[in-house]
Chains A and B, each alone.
Chain A
Amino acid sequence: MIARSLSLFAGLFALILVIGWLMGVPFTSSRLVEATAYALIALGLNIQWGYGGLFNFGIMGFLMLGGFAVTFISYPINPSFWGSDGPWMLGRAALAFGAGALLVYAARQSHRLGLRGGWKTFTIVLAWFVAYCLYRSQIDPAAAYIESTAGFVGGLGINPVFGWLFGGVLAAGVALIVGKIALGLRTDYLAIATIGISEIIRALIKNMDWLTRGTLTVSPIPWPTPLPQEYQASGADQLSSLILARGGYLALALLVLAAAIWLVSRAYAGPWGRMMRAIRDNHVAASSMGKDVKSRQLEIFVLGSVLMGIGGAMLVSFTQIFDPSSYQPINHTFLIWVMIIVGGAGNNWGAVFGAVLIWLVWVISEPLAKTIFETASYWSTSVGWPEIPDIESRSAQMRVFVLGLVITIALRYAPKGLIPEVVRRDS
């Protein structure tokens, strides 16, 4: 088992070298940083699905929350917002939100006043409606005012590492709510509920222009480590400054990933991990052994989402641009599922291996397809057939097909993944 994992990782290393040789150092170093972030995200999904058996198809939502968090924390302060009436109006909207929440809470407690059955339901629905109208009446003018005067709220100008942390915290908070809503559901229902919730998050982040700048995008977001420009200013040449800067970022990302793997593996080897496996394999039996299945599942859902939030924040601060409309379920949810399926659910090294491999396959399938198409086009024209039109756009679409092919082949021939879960049987 260990020999197999080692040879697979050696093969992956060789693949990285080949890509570095073919595509150049700048391309490969960027992809490696992204692959590290995706490995962290895949580890998060591995906790939820591989350990806990929870079906989270709303990964995109948590990645967006992480991206928003790092933008909000580390983007420079916007003085034209803080000097205007915007903060006051937002404060009033927050008060309206609080009042609405209080109203809904009161309606939910209305059985203490003797309301029962249909009347109570009616009161709750009415309270929700009034709270919604109240909030809208305050937030709509505030949003319009901020968008017309200051553009958007802006950031807080703090180091991006705190943005990563805040990404984790924000994802945890939302995961707690999502988990409380959806974790009572079974597999397929849970998948569809989480995908629905992630679409709601996307719609909100994309359209709350006053907070996130929506489709106008926010850039440049600062790096936690020195940028290539800073190395160049101190006299380094183009290539070495790029390598130094990306190397610094990669080192920081790898540090976070290593810490996450260490913590997760330790937890999983202990009694907590055994309990989680028991709940995953037979939650009825685990529950009858006195385990609190619901809160343990919530716990694992939140933990996995924290890693997704941090990973999402890392990706955004690396590319330096937060573009809510670039988030797609294919690239940000299904891709990560493929990583876990191919790598091996329930095995941390499998998740990391799958993440790096699939990310590399995803990014090189486009130039590879382009080369193949160009060669085919060259041969077809040389025998008098017409050449292939729109090679550029067509090869860009090939990676979706390759991803689908990989997932179907993996499920058919290696359903447990390349580095499967190790099941220890203590006699």
Chain B
Amino acid sequence: MTEFIFFINQVVISGAVLGCIYALGAVGITLIFGILRFAHFAHSELMTSGAFFAFLLAALFASWGIVTPIPMGFVVLPLAMVLSAVFALGVDKGFYAPLRQRGAKPVILLIASIGVTLMIQGLIRLFFGAGSYSFFENETKDVFRVDTSFLGSTRPLVITEPQLLMIIVTVISVLALHFFLTRSRLGKAMRAMADNADLAQVSGINTALVVRVTWIVAGALACMAGTMLALDVTLKPDLAFNIIIPIFAAAIVGGLGQAYGAIAGGLLIGFAESLAVFNWTMVLRPLNGVLPEALQLPATLALVPTEYKLTVAFVILVVVLLVRPTGIFKGASS
């Protein structure tokens, strides 16, 4: 039983946390691709800047002497999401809208988004330097240890407070997104436009409004993902730039343009990464007593060495592109 709890700590929890972050990021990418038909590289910088908005707000609140029972990062999240949504709208208005009006090809928009990535990253580094920050400098990161001795385990189940809140918040926002997309007029218009932009336009859907709403939703979700990532590890200028490819992998694996596919893809890649680097010897150790001398388990029996963790996502991506070129849920293409 100890081994099972260890497996939950090492794979299930860390996979779920990683999967939630990937999923929230990938939903934004997939929505932008579905509506605007280009791969938005600067999404990573929306995530990082969102995390910095939250960090600044948290610092501001703390300087006013406000103390909250849950981590400050979660308290200021709604406000930071609003700021990020406005920021995303501004980026679109300043950089992508002029190109769209000129009728530029999706490829040009993709390159423009790389320019935006570099500019935002440069600005963040200009103001915050290259160092890292922590949300938990003035408050403690609570760690819950659930005693599992009644199951016969000698190890507790370990989860930190941000991780627990993160999973809850992600579930809530995915449900909210689901109801938005299936019940509201705007959500239905978004899905219609993702399916067929021309048809949506001739059937009287206000495409400019749909584009704005897409940026608002994508910016808010990106801020959420970035803040959570910063709460789980540390906040640094290349926070999300390092994981943009796994996030793209999640969006593609799910099928670009498919919101539910992105969530599935994010969780899949998050769990695959945790599973791939998991040391199976820790779980299979009891077998050592049963197995003959020649078949004893080595000290490490991970599928891939830890330093190749991020590579797992790329390998999954390449395999999926080979087997199902438009992803599991059959996505769109530009």
Chain A residues in the interface with B (C-beta under 8 A) = 55, 181-182, 184-189, 191-193, 195-197, 199-200, 203, 206-207, 330, 334, 337-338, 341, 390, 393-394, 397-408, 411-412, 415
Complex contacts, A193 vs chain B, CB 8 Å = 317-318, 321
Query: Is A404 a contact partner of B314 (Cβ separation < 8 A)?
Result: no
Complex contacts, A411 vs chain B, CB 8 Å = 99, 104, 108, 111-112, 115
A353 vs B225: C-alpha distance in the bound complex, in angstroms?
41
Known A390-B129, A408-B116, A411-B99; contact A400-B110, beta-carbon cutoff 8 A: no
B115-155 to A contact mask, C-beta < 8 Å, 1/0: 11111111101100110000000000000000000000000
Query: Is A207 a contact partner of B308 (Cβ separation < 8 A)?
Result: yes
Q: Which residue of the partner chain, among A185, A186, A334, A399, contacts B114 with CB atoms under 8 Å? A: A334
Query: Is A192 a contact partner of B99 (Cβ separation < 8 A)?
Result: no
Query: Is A185 a contact partner of B111 (Cβ separation < 8 A)?
Result: no
A169 vs B253: C-alpha distance in the bound complex, in angstroms?
33
Complex contacts, A415 vs chain B, CB 8 Å = 102, 104, 108
> Is B167 an interface position by the 8 A CB rule?
no
Query: Is B126 a contact partner of A397 (Cβ separation < 8 A)?
Result: yes
A390 vs B130: C-alpha distance in the bound complex, in angstroms?
11
Query: Is A400 a contact partner of B118 (Cβ separation < 8 A)?
Result: yes
Query: Is A394 a contact partner of B318 (Cβ separation < 8 A)?
Result: no
> Is B260 an interface position by the 8 A CB rule?
no
B296-334 to A contact mask, C-beta < 8 Å, 1/0: 000000000101101101110110011001000000011
A53: nearest residue on chain B (CB-CB)? B107
Complex contacts, A338 vs chain B, CB 8 Å = 115
Query: Is B308 a contact partner of A334 (Cβ separation < 8 A)?
Result: no
Complex contacts, B108 vs chain A, CB 8 Å = 411, 415
A178: nearest residue on chain B (CB-CB)? B318
> Is B245 an interface position by the 8 A CB rule?
yes
B242-260 to A contact mask, C-beta < 8 Å, 1/0: 0001001100100010000
Q: Which residue of the partner chain, among B39, B118, B310, B311, contacts A192 with CB atoms under 8 Å? A: B39
Complex contacts, A408 vs chain B, CB 8 Å = 95, 112, 115-116, 119
**A55 to chain B: closest CB distance in Å?**
7
> Is B90 an interface position by the 8 A CB rule?
no
Query: Is B334 a contact partner of A401 (Cβ separation < 8 A)?
Result: no
Complex contacts, B78 vs chain A, CB 8 Å = none
> Which secondary structure dominates where chain A touches chain B?
helix
Q: Which residue of the partner chain, among A189, A195, A197, A330, contacts B325 with CB atoms under 8 Å? A: A189
> Is B215 an interface position by the 8 A CB rule?
no
Within 8 A of A (CB), among B28-48: 33, 38-39
Query: Is B321 a contact partner of A185 (Cβ separation < 8 A)?
Result: yes
Complex contacts, A390 vs chain B, CB 8 Å = 129
**A31 to chain B: closest CB distance in Å?**
20
Complex contacts, B102 vs chain A, CB 8 Å = 415
A207 vs B104: C-alpha distance in the bound complex, in angstroms?
41
Query: Is A197 a contact partner of B314 (Cβ separation < 8 A)?
Result: yes
Q: Can you name 26 A-B residue pairings with CB atoms under 8 Å?
A: A55-B107, A184-B325, A187-B107, A188-B38, A188-B334, A189-B252, A189-B333, A191-B39, A192-B249, A196-B317, A197-B318, A203-B311, A338-B115, A393-B129, A400-B118, A401-B121, A402-B122, A403-B122, A404-B114, A404-B115, A406-B115, A407-B115, A408-B95, A408-B119, A411-B108, A411-B112
Query: Is A191 a contact partner of B110 (Cβ separation < 8 A)?
Result: yes
Complex contacts, B117 vs chain A, CB 8 Å = 404
Complex contacts, A334 vs chain B, CB 8 Å = 114, 118
> Is B187 an interface position by the 8 A CB rule?
no
> Is B106 an interface position by the 8 A CB rule?
yes
A197 vs B317: C-alpha distance in the bound complex, in angstroms?
9
Query: Is A200 a contact partner of B315 (Cβ separation < 8 A)?
Result: yes
A394: nearest residue on chain B (CB-CB)? B126
Complex contacts, A184 vs chain B, CB 8 Å = 325
**B88 to chain A: closest CB distance in Å?**
16
Interface pairs A-B: 10 shortest CB-CB:
A401-B122, A404-B118, A404-B119, A407-B115, A397-B125, A196-B314, A400-B122, A188-B39, A408-B115, A203-B311
Complex contacts, A55 vs chain B, CB 8 Å = 107
Known A334-B118, A337-B114, A407-B111; contact A182-B245, beta-carbon cutoff 8 A: no
Complex contacts, A195 vs chain B, CB 8 Å = 245
Known A186-B334, A199-B311, A337-B111; contact A407-B126, beta-carbon cutoff 8 A: no
A186 vs B37: C-alpha distance in the bound complex, in angstroms?
13
Among A184, A195, A402, find the residue whose CB has the most chain B CB atoms closer than 10 A: A195
**B245 to chain A: closest CB distance in Å?**
6
Complex contacts, A199 vs chain B, CB 8 Å = 245, 310-311, 314
**B208 to chain A: closest CB distance in Å?**
20
B121: nearest residue on chain A (CB-CB)? A400
**B311 to chain A: closest CB distance in Å?**
5
**A56 to chain B: closest CB distance in Å?**
12
Complex contacts, B321 vs chain A, CB 8 Å = 181-182, 185, 189, 193
A411: nearest residue on chain B (CB-CB)? B112
Complex contacts, A186 vs chain B, CB 8 Å = 333-334
A393 vs B108: C-alpha distance in the bound complex, in angstroms?
32
Complex contacts, B112 vs chain A, CB 8 Å = 407-408, 411
**A234 to chain B: closest CB distance in Å?**
44
Complex contacts, A393 vs chain B, CB 8 Å = 129-130
**B225 to chain A: closest CB distance in Å?**
18
A398 vs B311: C-alpha distance in the bound complex, in angstroms?
30
Query: Is A404 a contact partner of B116 (Cβ separation < 8 A)?
Result: yes
Complex contacts, A400 vs chain B, CB 8 Å = 118, 121-122, 125
Complex contacts, A206 vs chain B, CB 8 Å = 307
Known A185-B321, A200-B314, A203-B308; contact A192-B252, beta-carbon cutoff 8 A: yes
Complex contacts, B98 vs chain A, CB 8 Å = 412
B315: nearest residue on chain A (CB-CB)? A200
A401: nearest residue on chain B (CB-CB)? B122
A403 vs B123: C-alpha distance in the bound complex, in angstroms?
12
Complex contacts, A397 vs chain B, CB 8 Å = 122, 125-126, 129-130
Among A185, A186, A411, find the residue whose CB has the most chain B CB atoms closer than 10 A: A411
Complex contacts, B313 vs chain A, CB 8 Å = 196
Query: Is A401 a contact partner of B106 (Cβ separation < 8 A)?
Result: no
**B316 to chain A: closest CB distance in Å?**
9
Complex contacts, B115 vs chain A, CB 8 Å = 338, 403-408, 411
A403 vs B33: C-alpha distance in the bound complex, in angstroms?
25
A400: nearest residue on chain B (CB-CB)? B122
Query: Is B119 a contact partner of A405 (Cβ separation < 8 A)?
Result: yes
Query: Is B126 a contact partner of A401 (Cβ separation < 8 A)?
Result: yes
| Contacts A186-B334, A403-B118 supplied; 5 other A-B pairs, CB < 8 Å | A181-B321, A334-B114, A338-B115, A412-B99, A415-B104
A336 vs B196: C-alpha distance in the bound complex, in angstroms?
35
Complex contacts, A200 vs chain B, CB 8 Å = 311, 314-315, 318
Query: Is B107 a contact partner of A192 (Cβ separation < 8 A)?
Result: no
Query: Is A187 a contact partner of B130 (Cβ separation < 8 A)?
Result: no
**A378 to chain B: closest CB distance in Å?**
19
